Amino acid sequence: MTLLQSHPPNADSFSLDVIGAVIPRANPGVNHVTVKIPDDKPTLDSIPRPKRKQYVVRSVRTIGKRKKTDADNIRRERDRAIQARHRKTQATLLVRLEKDIANLQEDVHKVDVRRQDICTDTPILLDLWFAAMEYFRFFQVGFNTPPPGLLAFLDRIIAPDVTDGPICGADTLVKNWAMLSLSFEDITVQLERLDRAGDDLLVATTTTSITIRSETLRRVFPHLLGHDDISLATKLQDQRIVMRSSVRFDWDSSTRRIVRMLSQSDMLTPILHLLGNVQDVSRVFDEALVTPEFRLRSM
């Protein structure tokens, strides 16, 4: 067959549009069935899926909840412990405060009782306290000559025949103190307290301090400068001796003067601490011009 025979002569007059517009003829022998396709097409979300097992997830959630519960319990226990300690501290402070208040009330009561006693004994007790305070104002340090105002004080407050142990007379009292001041350097008397021991009696607690110099050894302990006891003198020289002391004041309410005194100092104890044995202490005081009570023998 030639090329001209394979294509009709009018093939060029046919187009795709003409062919597409041709309506096919019906075939009477074929039954047609109409199938309606629903508009709502199934989606992936509408397709039922098999349920997944939740064992692992539920287990993890349970552990998490349990941990949170344990943490809450621990926090609550800690808060309760803190509150308990706080309440205990407050209770302790309250007890201490109540005790302090009770002590303060007791002190106030004591002061009030003492004030009433002072008011009852006025002016006797006030005069006695004033006299004792004035005495230590003048005799708190050593002196070679009487300080200003001392003689006027003696005339007004101290009885002319006042006694202080073996010492008798106000003038002798002043001379004895001046002699002690000359023999011992840097004498100081510190008043610690005053106590009422009776209606007309006061007891002063004091601390007396002295320094033993070479002049003290020559005047008061000359027997220690010999060859046998020179070691004791060396131990005593330049030592500061601190003694516990007391002075008792007896008051005469009729004359409003101090009529009797008793001065005592413990010189023995500090010397014993310094030397370390009783034998050396005995050698120091045997021929000394001062007694273990800090009194000059010559007086």
Give the dihedral sign, CA 53/58/60/63.
negative
**Per-domain residue ranges for the chain?**
124-286
- In this prediction, residues 59-88 reach a mean pLDDT of 78
Q: Where is average pLDDT lowest: 81-95, 254-268, 276-290? A: 81-95
How far, rounded to the nearest angstrom, does the alpha carbon of residue 174 sit from its chain's CA centroid? Answer: 46
- CA–CA–CA angle 243, 289, 208 (5° rounding): 15
Q: Using one digit for the tens of pLDDT, what is the confidence trace for 14-60?
A: 554 544 555 555 555 445 555 555 555 555 555 566 555 554 555 55
Question: Full-prediction pTM beyond 0.85?
Answer: no
Q: Which residue has the higher pLDDT, 69 or 28?
A: 69
Name the CA dihedral angle for 25, 30, 31, 35, rounded to a multiple of 10 degrees: -70
Structure confidence at residue 189 as a pLDDT band (50, 70, 90): very high
- In this prediction, residues 196-212 reach a mean pLDDT of 92
Structure confidence at residue 65 as a pLDDT band (50, 70, 90): low
With beta carbons less than 8 A apart as the criterion, state whether 250 and 243 touch.
no
What does pLDDT average to over the chain?
A: 80
- In this prediction, residues 56-83 reach a mean pLDDT of 73
In whole angstroms, give the CA distance from residue 134 to residue 138: 7
In whole angstroms, give the CA distance from residue 153 to residue 178: 17
Is 124-286 a CATH 3.10.450.50 domain? Answer: yes
Query: Which two tokens mark 160?
Result: 């002319």
Q: What is the 3-state secondary structure (H, E, C) of 53-99?
A: CCHHHHHHHHHHHHHHHHHHHHHHHHHHHHHHHHHHHHHHHHHHHHH
pLDDT surpassing 90 at residue 194: yes
Structure confidence at residue 145 as a pLDDT band (50, 70, 90): confident
Tokens 């104002």, located at residue: 137
In whole angstroms, give the CA distance from residue 193 to residue 196: 10
In whole angstroms, give the CA distance from residue 24 to residue 4: 29
